[in-house]
Each structure stands twice: as structure tokens, then as C-alpha cells.
Amino acid sequence: MRGTARGLLELTRPGNAIASGLLTVIGSFVAGIAGGEAGLLLPVPPEFRVAAAVCATVLAVGGGNAINDYFDREIDRINAPDRPIPRGAVSPRGALAFSLALFVLAVALALTLPALAIAIAVVNLVALVAYTELFKGLPGVGNLIVAYLGGSTFLFGGAAVGGDLSTVGVLFALAALSTFAREVVKDVEDVAGDREEGLHTLPIAVGERRALVAAAAALGLAVLASPLPFVVGTFGVVYLVLVLPADAVMCYAAYESFGDATAGQSRLKYGMFLAMASFVVGRGFAVV
């Protein structure tokens, strides 16, 4: 039982799920709590809505990761044999049931939020399931869906509190571009198993180097656009000081990926975390 419980937890990729929850918190913080109960199915105070949105995000991402492992179980026997299903800690049927349970809980929590947040949640849930079953193996399409999902956590957090979504729109774009870049680099890392399963990911379709160039271009756009929250006045100069090191880490990660995709995508993740920290601190000083 302990092994199964550990396997179920691993299916959710708890680090990624919690990180997505933090993005939702950042989205609500940056957008600002508007208060009021317009568009709510239930009279829920804004503080509870933040908690509900965060928990819904963590559960939905965890469920998405679990169902991804269910559909990718044959690929993972090559690319990631230590994951719960290939190593026998969790059965495929158990992983599927677990993911569905997480989705149900996420939807129940989302129903306590404003209508716009519910709409975002529904779109994201459909995209999560469709990604793995329909779009993951299509060149670039799966990467774009994951990029949208990563960025939309900011929008979801802002919508949960009825805040100004225009303030998180730039953050959505920055997160989507950097997530797209990391997903492409991860596809380069997984070329062997994806080719074995007959998938047509971007590196397989256009070649690994061209795919890495596309990832670097997306990341370059994100870096070039990163000063915009300062330029439009959403964040102060503190944000600009903090985001520049994050930009430097991500640029180096893009360069590193051409020689070592595994190291590059790992370093890119750290750069993205630094960027998230700059959003929080920058907004905090702007409010003060």
C-alpha cells in the first residue's frame, strides 16, 4: 500500500503541480482582489476563492500528469522506466481512475469561482485531456497547448478574484513563450522514445537543431518582452532589477540545450522560477 500511495503521488508530479498553484496565487496577487460577488454561483469571499483556485489548479495539473502517464505508459518504458506505471507501482487502470478523481475534485472547487474562472477551468480541463490523447505527437501543436496551459494559470488566478486581467496578460504571454521553449527542449531530450512510438514531435519532424532554434526564438521573444510590465507601469524598477538575472539564466539555458538538452531544460526551469519570484516582488513593491 505504501508503494502504491507513493506511486500515485509521483504520478501527479507534485513539484510541477505545486508550482502551477503558485502561478495561480501570483495571478490573483498581480491582478488584485476586486471583491464583490458578481458572476458567482455561490457567495464565496475572495480569500476563499484564491485558496479554491490554487487547490483546483494543483489537482487539475496533478490529474493531467497522471492521465499523461496513463497514455504514455509504453513510451515511458523507454524514456522513463522509473515512473510509477512502467515500474509496476501503479496499474494503468489505477492511474486512470486516480486522474479522474482529481479532475472531479478540481471541477467541484472551480464551481465556487466566478463565471470567467469557471470558463477558463473548463477550457483547460478539455485541453489537458485532449493534449495527451490527440495533440501531443503533432509537431509543435502539443507544445503550444502546454504553453497555453502554463500561462493560463495567471489568468485563472486573476479571474478567481475578479481582478484586472489586463495586468496579468503580459505575464501570461511571458510564461507561455518560456514554457513552449522548455517543452520543445524536453521533446529533443525524449526523441528516442517518441520515435519508437511513432510520434511526430517537432524535433522528429524538422530535426533536433531546428527545433532548438525555434525554442531559442520563443525564449528570445520572452526575454525581449520581459521589461513590458515595467514599461506599462504594472511593476516598478525592482522588478526590472530582478528579472534581468532570470533572463540571463534562461538565455544560457537555451544555449546549453544545443549541447545537452537535459541540462538545458533543467536550467530553464530554474530561470522560470526566478522570473516568477520577480513577478511577486515587483508587484509587491508596486503596491507599496
243-248: long-range pairs with CB below 8 Å, 24+: 243/275, 243/278, 243/282, 245/274, 246/271, 246/272, 246/274, 246/275, 246/277, 246/278, 247/223, 247/271, 247/275
In whole angstroms, give the CA distance from residue 285 to residue 280: 9
pLDDT digits (tens, 9 = 90+) for 28-56: 888 875 554 545 555 667 788 899 999 99
Mean pLDDT calculated for residue range 3-12: 89
Q: Can you read off the three cell numbers belonging to residue 229? A: 510590465
Domains delineated in the chain = 2-287 (1.10.357.140)
* pTM of the shown model: 0.83
Convert the pLDDT of each residue in 258-285 to its tens digit. 999 989 988 998 898 888 888 888 776 6
The one-character DSSP state at 32 is -
For 104, 161, 170, 254, the CA distances from 267, given in Å and listed in that order, are 34, 33, 23, 9
pLDDT at 142 (0 to 100)? 87
What value does the mean pLDDT take over residues 54-72?
92
Q: Is the dihedral of CA 264, 265, 270, 273 positive or negative?
A: positive
Residues 167-221: pLDDT tens digits?
Answer: 788 889 988 999 999 999 999 988 877 787 777 889 999 999 999 999 999 999 9
What is the 8-class DSSP label of residue 277? Answer: H
pLDDT at 138: 78
